[in-house]
Amino acid sequence: MAPSGISLNKPAAITILVLVAGGVIMYRWGWSSPHSSAAETDISNAGSKKGNADIKPPDGKKIALPSELPLTLTDSKMSKEIDVNKLPDFPLSPDINATAIKMITIDVKVKDKTLKINSRQTGPAESPTLTVLLLHGQAFTSQDWIRTLRLLASWGYKAVAIDLPDFGKSKAESLGDASEEEFMTALVGTLGSAPVIVSPSMSGRFSLPYLFSDRSDSEQRAAAFIPVAPVMTDKFKANYPKSQVPTLIVYGTEDKNLGTKSRADLQALPKAQIAPIPGAGHACYMDKPDLFRNVLHYFLTSLTK
């Protein structure tokens, strides 16, 4: 009989000691283990509270809440998707309609011929920040960019919209045996500096071979690239990973054909951002012009920061 009045045999006492020791070890291991989820739970709870603009993970670094940023990361390629609805409105000058647009014929020498290419141009009188070259789709011409041209000029950019060969006031001009890539090379050379190229729909026939036809120097051929659901994006998929040209992939969410396809192909570009225009069709810059101009202003501003 033990002094306490409790009878213990030797095997039972050993079993109790083993259980107590094991419990202490498990408790201490779980408390100090690097796999403990306590810190992760704290971060998750902190992020769910309104008013927390940023939170501190265990390593002490700050991370911003995704819900408060216009940019989020999408898919395995980590392309940045812009929430267009969260972008600020583009600046609008009260005298925007007074901005003069000049009709200028550009002599583009391709191989053994000179093409007379119609253009509409505007911009600040001195030291434009960038040159923006606007191409057009099958059913459009440079005339459809007039409002955007004026806005670009008011933002400090030189803006050039052209009628491509066989279209608009350049309809009498034909490439002949010259390629679209050769035409674009000659055109940009005539303009004198690598522009930001805005390329919707059919104009992908011109912009994509110019930038991505078996070359890795696209960033030297354009300051940036803004494809708007262009054709032929599948033709140059092997070359996209080589490019370092800043790119804004724009498409209307209702464009289930070229919009969806161009996004899927072009997001392989390493420096691509993606801007889906909600509720817009194929010609998203016509369907939702203000949303398009918001994202255009946002992207161009980011290039000069």
Told to judge if 112 belongs to the known catalytic residues of this protein, a careful annotator would answer no
| Burial tier of 287 (Cβ tally within 10 Å: 0-12, 13-18, 19+) | middle
Task: Determine the Cα–Cα distance for residues 265 and 234; give it in Å rounded to an integer.
Answer: 6
Q: Is 143 in contact with 119 (CB distance < 8 Å)?
A: no
Helix %, strand %, coil % of the chain (to 5): 40, 20, 40
The catalytic position among 119, 144, 282, 297 is 282
Task: Determine the Cα–Cα distance for residues 77 and 98; give it in Å rounded to an integer.
Answer: 44
Which amino acid type is present at position 56? K
Told to judge if 282 belongs to the known catalytic residues of this protein, a careful annotator would answer yes
Q: Which residues of 212-243 are buried (b: 16+ CB within 10 A; e: fewer)?
A: beebeebbebbbbbbbbbbbbbeebeebbeeb
The catalytic position among 201, 203, 207, 218 is 201
Q: Is 84 in contact with 78 (CB distance < 8 Å)?
A: no
Q: Is 267 in contact with 239 (CB distance < 8 Å)?
A: no
The catalytic position among 79, 255, 262, 297 is 255
User: Which residues are catalytically annotated?
Assistant: 201, 255, 282
